Homo-oligomer: A and B are copies of this chain.
Amino acid sequence: MMREYYSITELTREFDVSTRTLRFYEDEGLVQPVRRGRTRLFRPSDRHLIRQIMRGKRLGFSINEIREIIQMYKEPPGEIGQLNLMIKRIEEKREDLRQKRRDLEETLAELDQAEESCVERLVELGVNT
């Protein structure tokens, strides 16, 4: 079932962030929950945005970078110049992500090696006792 609204505390629990953080994202214009009186009602689309924000954070993107990425997920603009510009920006972000992927694979490889050294050392010690 697709819920209509989520309360702020529901989402803080789901994503393990504080209310302060979600309000901060609202101030930053990353999400725009609707209001009933003064209380915020987050829609599924807001929830999805928060999911994307958390992903961006884990990848080490700043709020501004996340904002840019979120722009890219939105409806493409209607003007050709804008479209070409957006495609260029998207390509840049993808290159950025590919660099991160290379960094990630290299780091994983080095950690694999480090673990192997540890295991070898354990075997040595196990043999000698």
The verdict on A73 contacting B110 (CB below 8 Å), with A60-B58, A103-B55 known, is: yes
Distance A91 CA – B97 CA, assembled complex (angstroms) = 23
Interface size on A, residues (CB 8 A): 46
Identify the closest chain B residue to A82 (Cβ). Answer: B118
Query: Of B52, B59, B87, B114, which is within 8 A of A90 by CB?
Result: B114
Oligomeric state, in number of copies? 2
The reply on A104 being an interface residue by CB < 8 A is yes
Interface segment, A7-15, A36-44, A119-127?
Answer: A119-127
The verdict on A111 contacting B59 (CB below 8 Å), with A97-B104, A101-B101 known, is: no
The reply on A107 being an interface residue by CB < 8 A is yes
Distance A28 CA – B74 CA, assembled complex (angstroms) = 41
CB distance from A48 to the nearest CB of B (A): 11
Query: Of B97, B108, B120, which is within 8 A of A107 by CB?
Result: B97
Identify the closest chain B residue to A102 (Cβ). Answer: B55
